[in-house]
A and B are shown apart, each in its own frame.
Chain A
């Protein structure tokens, strides 16, 4: 499995909305509604923010939302806040118990 493709960086001003794309193939993103998204601050473990495409774990802000079209999944962060400044990774199930991460996106809050 090759890593899913994400933009290296995305930036936005406080209050704006940004969208991060995650492009896979018909073997992973396109074949399953099982994309998850993780947020990682420097020196910290990743944190799950979206699972099964657009579900949020308890306690995660509803400013985070997910979607998918074909082989590309997307994470939208609305009402951007300073604490959203972090790295974001998508992940997709790829069958036979195996998953794959995306290349990661650095989000900068201007």
Chain B
């Protein structure tokens, strides 16, 4: 089983700032099958990024994903108030499809 470790656990930033979230895998993620999700309180997760760097339908271009192998990054270029949420990475290249523990992005 691939273990995904996200850092930091909590990130405190202000609107307009740049956010960089990390996801590290315990072994290489095949074919960059890495996704990112956003979850707000009381809501289901929403797909942001798949294939490590492809934005899902309707996702603003301030969200970008990068990385390969064992190290992946989600970047939010300029934070909007609605971006403060919890973010999860998921690898879907091997079974079971595991999630990271999440990064909480909070308003500073």
Q: A and B from one assembly? A: no
Residues of B within 8 A of A (CB): none
